[in-house]
């Protein structure tokens, strides 16, 4: 199956949004401008995506190429498709190393927040190119570790299915299944015209990044065994 390695990703930071996110007023603007200029100079967001053949083997078992995954929600979401797109996207090691080089915790926090925006740029470009290259319809995403039903340990077969992610875009998977650079994201894109949002399948109420409310009725109707 075909793999796309995306390295020439344009990054145009939204300064106003960054300053709002960081709660910075005009008294910090000059100092922040210096950090932002430094970050933009080195930023090289990257992504890799690989098309995988899908075979649902059971109510919780999915085979993609030669790797096996276990998740009821994943099995239901993929039961009507023949392919899916495993991906890793990242702000790039350049921004990660810039963050590590900062001895001032505040400056490091600023670089980390800029890195989040760079990751966002990588994700948007990844989706755009995947749709164009593989002529897909609407794409939805699932991410290992975002749901109890698809735990973070499934990062390991996902990375194996993609290939040599470290060599391709500089993202390594740690022994605890976290990624370095920290501002990286991984998951699976799949085609569907149905609405799906990971957050709507998660009952956690204390998640600061929640994008949708838990839909207990839909979960029990469509995914419960």
pLDDT in tens, 13-27: 999 999 999 999 999
pLDDT band at 222 (very low <50, low <70, confident <90, very high): low
Residue 108 burial (C-beta neighbours within 10 Å; 0-12, 13-18, 19+): middle
With a cut of 70, say whether residue 47 has pLDDT above it.
Answer: yes
Q: At residue 208, does pLDDT exceed 60?
A: no
Say how far apart CA 142 and CA 123 lie, in whole Å: 13
> Residues of the chain with pLDDT > 90: what percent?
82
Q: Please give the model's pTM, rounded to 2 decimal places.
A: 0.89
d(CA 140, CA 142): 7
What digits encode the pLDDT tens for the residues 58-114?
Answer: 999 999 999 999 999 999 999 999 999 999 999 999 999 999 999 999 999 999 999
Q: Residue 204: is its pLDDT beyond 80?
A: no
Judged against a pLDDT cut of 60, whether residue 210 lies above it is answered with: no
> Which pLDDT score is estimated for 205?
61
pLDDT of residue 219: 59
Backbone dihedral region of 2: left (phi > 0), alpha (psi from -120 to 50 degrees) or beta? beta
Q: Which residues pair with 47 in a beta bridge?
A: 6, 89
Can you give the pLDDT at residue 207? 61
- Interatomic CA distance for residues 129 and 169, integer angstroms: 16
- The pLDDT value recorded for residue 217 is 67
Q: What does the pLDDT average to over 184-189?
A: 97
Strand, coil or helix: what is 141?
Answer: strand
Mean pLDDT confidence for 36-48: 98
**Whether the predicted pLDDT of 201 surpasses 90:** no
Between these two residues, 109 and 197, which has the higher pLDDT value? Answer: 109
* Structure confidence at residue 185 as a pLDDT band (50, 70, 90): very high
pLDDT in tens, 136-152: 999 999 999 988 899 99
Residue 194: what pLDDT?
73
Kindly provide the b/e burial profile for residues 135-158, where b requires at least 16 CB atoms within 10 angstroms of the residue's own CB: ebeebbbbbbebbebbeeebbebb
């Amino acid at each position: 199956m075909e793999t796309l390695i995306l390295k020439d990703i344009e990054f145009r930071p939204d300064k106003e949004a960054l300053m709002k996110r960081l709660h910075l007023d005009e008294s910090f603007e000059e100092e922040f401008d210096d950090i932002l200029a430094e970050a933009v100079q080195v930023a090289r967001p990257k992504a890799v995506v690989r098309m995988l053949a899908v075979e649902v083997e059971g109510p919780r078992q999915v085979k993609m190429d030669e790797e096996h995954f276990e998740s009821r929600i994943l099995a239901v979401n993929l039961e009507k498709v023949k392919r899916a797109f495993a991906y890793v996207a990242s702000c790039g090691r350049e921004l990660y190393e810039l963050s590590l080089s900062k001895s001032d915790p505040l400056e490091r926090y600023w670089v980390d927040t800029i890195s989040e925006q760079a990751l966002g740029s990588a994700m948007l470009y990844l989706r755009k190119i995947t749709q164009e290259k593989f002529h897909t319809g609407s794409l939805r995403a699932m991410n290992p570790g975002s749901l109890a039903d698809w735990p973070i340990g499934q990062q390991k077969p996902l990375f194996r299915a993609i290939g040599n992610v470290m060599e391709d875009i500089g993202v390594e998977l740690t022994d605890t299944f976290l990624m370095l650079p920290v501002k990286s994201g991984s998951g699976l894109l799949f085609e569907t015209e149905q609405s799906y949002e990971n957050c709507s399948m998660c009952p956690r109420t204390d998640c600061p990044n929640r994008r949708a409310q838990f839909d207990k009725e839909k979960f029990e109707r469509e995914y419960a065994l």
